[in-house]
């Protein structure tokens, strides 16, 4: 058996001596305690030993190196097989009990209500969004600011995380921030610490240039956070709304269930707004409506998804939260290239009918251009005259705008112009090039059209095109007339990195028939015979068509080239490769 002398490691005072000469010490037994600067240090036996000598007393000052105790190591004895496990530490037990209250399992009744409505919990949505094991939560231990009026234990059990789960992680390897309102906490209302957590996450996202995904559900401000009642009157200087609106990274909002007041305001400033079929979105919920003296209404009567999809509030209408999360992931992946997929060149050749007066389905052209026919369309229920969305060509993500010949012959009305302008802003903000497919007789005209604010909305489209800073490619499939065609090309055919037409393309300062009726009015009026007058009218229209058809217009350098429709994908990729990389622009995205 070996004898060892334990010595002081540094300056200290001997505070307690527990060893006694001749005594037996088990492994881990306390020998003595030293103290310095109010910090106590324990000296324990590394293994079973007998005490041969104790060389210090309580109160002795140590400089370091002094002998403290001499021990003789004993042969270790195996611990009894039925030895009781060590008692859990109190701090560990307290921690585990507190963390357990954050889980969905701690609130089975509330979760059951979510299930009955076909909804998921905030934590389930975040688990679906983030790569496994990547989520870091911020502010999980917060509770509602009601400690003056409710027991802390009750707040911990019933208001975990103060109703919003916030944090960062990776989505398909991309760093992302997210915040999910927990409707199971006080109906998703926004409290004092709730907003503090939002501000913290928005600042982290700003600093690290992260996208933010918002799961918005519930109402607005919480009026009964009594802990802060004495330091504020209305709290109209809360910063969350301004800071979130100003965030320059992509902002993707997801709404399911009831989304009113403050939650709707946050959802509304997102770059992309995704909502489920069973969502109800409104700037004022039932409580605010009743408080404003407008009567009692059911929450389902306020902003149902079918209404908000028609008026342009919802960009993507999906079945449920699972589809919403999948769409958000797809959007977050737009910044990376994928393996090139195949298009359908043969289908492109057959899209536009030989008869120039026959309508056709522009979406067939979009699907034939896209890798694997995959196209993510935005706001289909709003602005039917314009098709907007995202696709990939050769693995590269692009924004897309296309006229819809099946609606008003492709003419651009106020809704279509607003839809296109916002989409250009969105692609600019996200640093995505844009492909435009042009087949329009121009802007919609007439007294009823002007009553919709046509001038302002059309001007927005020109402004968005003038400030668009990414590569732009325009393909003229058939009609390209007047200001409408110029707007589809970012402001003029000289704006795109490449502006080309299919052989079916035709251009003009205005629609051919209208140009003839205006320009040759007197000449036609002078022809008395109706048949002769119609024949002359057709001759003049045909003459203008020959002048404006793609092959002749390209020879006059109106645009860059006429291409085989089957070669459109290759032409687009060549043009984008020469245009250089796209970079995020500095403009914000309009709400409508």
- DSSP readout, 482-503? HHHHHHHTTSSTTSSSEEEE-T
Please state the domain count of the chain: 4
Query: Is 83 contained in some domain?
Result: no
Mean pLDDT of 61-88: 79
446 and 500 share one domain: yes
Average pLDDT of span 404-429 = 97
Same domain for 51 and 196?
no
CA-to-CA distance for 489 and 438, rounded, in angstroms? 8
Is 229 found in the same domain as 209? Answer: yes
- 8 Å CB contact between 252 and 213: yes
Instruction: Please write the tens of the pLDDT for every residue from 347-382.
Output: 999 999 999 889 999 999 999 999 999 999 999 999
Residues 477 and 437 sit within 8 Å (Cβ to Cβ): yes
Among the residue ranges 152-161, 212-221, 520-529, 561-570, the one predicted with the least confidence is 520-529
Say which CATH number the domain at 49 has: 2.40.50.100
What pLDDT is stored for residue 469 in this prediction?
A: 94
One domain for residues 146 and 272? yes
254 neighbors 325 (Cβ within 8 angstroms): yes
Q: Is 85 contained in some domain? A: no
The enclosing domain of 434 has a CATH number of 3.90.226.10
Q: What pLDDT, on the 0 to 100 scale, is given for residue 84?
A: 62
In a domain, 500, yes or no: yes
Q: Are 144 and 344 in contact (CB under 8 A)?
A: no
Tell me if 305 is assigned to some domain.
yes
Among residues 273, 302, 334, the one where a domain terminates is 334
| Domain-terminating residue out of 334, 353, 377 | 334
Cα gap 26→188, rounded to integer Å: 56
- Residue 559 scores a pLDDT above 90: yes
In angstroms, the Cα distances linking 90 to 39, 40, 42, 95, 156 are 21, 19, 19, 9, 18
Q: How many Cβ atoms from other residues are within 10 Å of residue 466's Cβ?
A: 12
Same domain, 397 and 452: yes
On whether both 400 and 485 belong to a single domain, the answer is: yes
Q: Are residues 282 and 353 in the same domain?
A: no
Answer whether residue 214 shows pLDDT above 90.
yes
* Number of helices followed by number of strands (H, E) in the chain: 21, 23
Same domain, 350 and 256: no
What is the DSSP pairing of strand 174-181 with strand 212-218?
Answer: parallel
Decide if pLDDT at 391 tops 60: yes
- Is pLDDT of 495 > 60? yes
Average the pLDDT over 316-328 and give the result. 98
Q: Are residues 445 and 302 in the same domain?
A: no
Poorest-pLDDT segment among 26-30, 137-141, 223-227, 473-477: 223-227
The predicted-structure confidence for 435-486, as pLDDT tens digits, reads as follows: 999 999 999 999 999 999 999 999 999 999 999 999 999 999 999 999 999 9
Question: Taking the CA atoms of the chain, what radius of gyration do you get in angstroms?
Answer: 35
Across 174-304, where does the E strand assignment appear? 174-181, 212-218, 251-260, 272-282
Reported as a pLDDT band with limits 50, 70 and 90, residue 1 is low
What pLDDT score does 385 carry? 97
Question: Given a cut of 60, is residue 86 above it in pLDDT?
Answer: yes
- The overall average pLDDT reported for the chain is 93
Q: Which of 445, 394, 386 is CA-nearest to residue 421?
A: 386
Q: Which residue has the tokens 């008395």?
A: 528
Q: With cut-offs at 50, 70 and 90, classify the pLDDT of residue 230.
A: confident
Residue 75: per-residue pLDDT: 80
In a domain, 9, yes or no: yes
Give me the percent of the chain exceeding a pLDDT of 70.
97
Q: Print burial letters for 401-418: b (CB count within 10 Å at least 16), e (below 16).
A: bbbbbebbbbbbbbbbbb
Establish if 58 belongs to a structural domain. Answer: yes
CA dihedral 187, 188, 191, 194 (to 10 degrees): 150
**Residue 326 placed within a domain:** yes
The residue range of the domain holding 43 is 3-73
Helix, strand, or coil (residue 379): coil
Predicted confidence at residue 80, as pLDDT, reads 54
Q: Tell me if 81 is assigned to some domain.
A: no
Whether 345 and 308 share a structural domain: no
Looking at residue 77, its pLDDT comes to 58
Burial code of 284-296, b = ≥16 C-beta within 10 A, e = fewer? bbbbbbeeeeeee
pTM to 2 decimal places: 0.88
Which percentage of the chain shows pLDDT scores above 90? 81
Residue finishing a domain among 318, 334, 350: 334
The reply to whether 344 and 493 lie within a common domain is yes
Do 290 and 364 fall into the same domain?
no
Q: Exposed/middle/buried for 151, CB within 10 Å: 0-12, 13-18, 19+?
A: exposed
pLDDT band at 580 (very low <50, low <70, confident <90, very high): confident
d(CA 160, CA 165): 9
């Amino acid at each position: 058996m070996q004898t060892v002398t334990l010595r002081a490691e540094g300056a200290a005072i001997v505070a307690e001596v527990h060893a006694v000469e001749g005594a037996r010490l088990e492994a881990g037994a306390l020998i003595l305690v030293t103290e310095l600067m109010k910090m106590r240090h324990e000296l324990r036996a590394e293994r079973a030993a007998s005490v041969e000598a104790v060389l210090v007393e309580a109160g002795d000052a140590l400089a370091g190196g002094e002998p403290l105790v001499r021990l003789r190591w004993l042969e270790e004895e195996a611990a009894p097989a039925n030895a009781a496990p060590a008692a859990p530490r109190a701090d560990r037990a307290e921690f585990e009990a507190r963390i357990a209250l954050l889980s969905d399992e701690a609130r089975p009744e509330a979760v059951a209500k979510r299930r009955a409505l076909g909804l998921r919990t905030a934590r389930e949505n975040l688990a679906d969004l983030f790569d496994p094991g990547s989520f870091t939560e911020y502010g999980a231990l917060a509770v509602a600011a009601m400690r003056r009026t409710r027991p802390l234990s009750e707040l911990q059990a019933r208001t975990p995380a103060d109703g919003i789960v916030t944090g960062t992680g990776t989505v398909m390897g991309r760093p992302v921030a997210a915040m999910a309102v927990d409707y199971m906490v006080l109906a998703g209302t926004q409290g004092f610490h709730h907003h503090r957590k939002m501000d913290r996450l928005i600042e982290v996202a700003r600093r690290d240039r992260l996208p933010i995904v918002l799961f918005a559900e519930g109402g607005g401000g919480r009026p009964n956070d009594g802990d802060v009642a004495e330091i504020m009157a209305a709290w109209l200087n809360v910063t969350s709304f301004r800071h979130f609106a100003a965030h320059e990274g992509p902002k993707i909002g997801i709404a399911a269930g009831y989304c009113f007041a403050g939650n709707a305001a946050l959802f509304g400033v997102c770059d992309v707004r995704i909502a489920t079929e069973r969502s109800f979105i409104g700037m004022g919920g039932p409580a605010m409506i009743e408080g404003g003296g407008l009567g009692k209404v059911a929450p389902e009567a306020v902003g149902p998804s079918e209404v908000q999809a028609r008026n342009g509030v919802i960009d993507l209408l999906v079945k449920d939260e699972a589809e919403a999360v999948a769409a958000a992931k797809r959007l977050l992946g737009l910044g990376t290239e994928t393996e090139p997929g195949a298009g359908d060149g043969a289908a492109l050749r057959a899209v536009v009918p030989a008869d120039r007066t026959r309508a056709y389905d522009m979406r067939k052209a979009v699907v034939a251009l896209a890798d694997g026919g995959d196209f993510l369309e935005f706001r289909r229920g709003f602005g039917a005259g314009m098709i907007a969305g995202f696709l990939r060509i050769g693995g590269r993500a692009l924004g897309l705008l296309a006229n819809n010949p099946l609606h008003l012959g492709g003419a651009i009305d106020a809704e279509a112009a607003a839809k296109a302008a916002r989409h250009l802003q969105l692609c600019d903000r996200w640093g995505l090039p844009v492909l435009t497919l042009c087949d329009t007789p121009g802007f919609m005209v007439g007294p009823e059209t002007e009553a919709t604010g046509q001038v302002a909305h059309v001007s927005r489209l020109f402004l968005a095109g003038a400030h668009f800073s990414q590569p732009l490619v325009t393909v003229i499939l058939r009609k390209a007339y007047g200001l409408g065609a110029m707007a589809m090309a970012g402001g003029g055919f000289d704006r795109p990195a490449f502006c080309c037409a299919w052989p079916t393309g035709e251009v003009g300062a205005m629609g051919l028939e209208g140009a003839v009726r205006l320009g040759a009015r007197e000449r036609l009026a002078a022809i008395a015979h109706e048949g002769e007058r119609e024949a002359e009218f057709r001759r003049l229209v045909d003459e203008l068509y020959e002048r404006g058809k793609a092959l002749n217009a390209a020879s006059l350098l109106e645009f860059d080239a006429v291409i085989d429709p089957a070669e459109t994908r290759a032409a687009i990729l060549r043009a984008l490769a020469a245009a250089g990389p796209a970079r995020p622009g500095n403009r914000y995205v309009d709400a409508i």
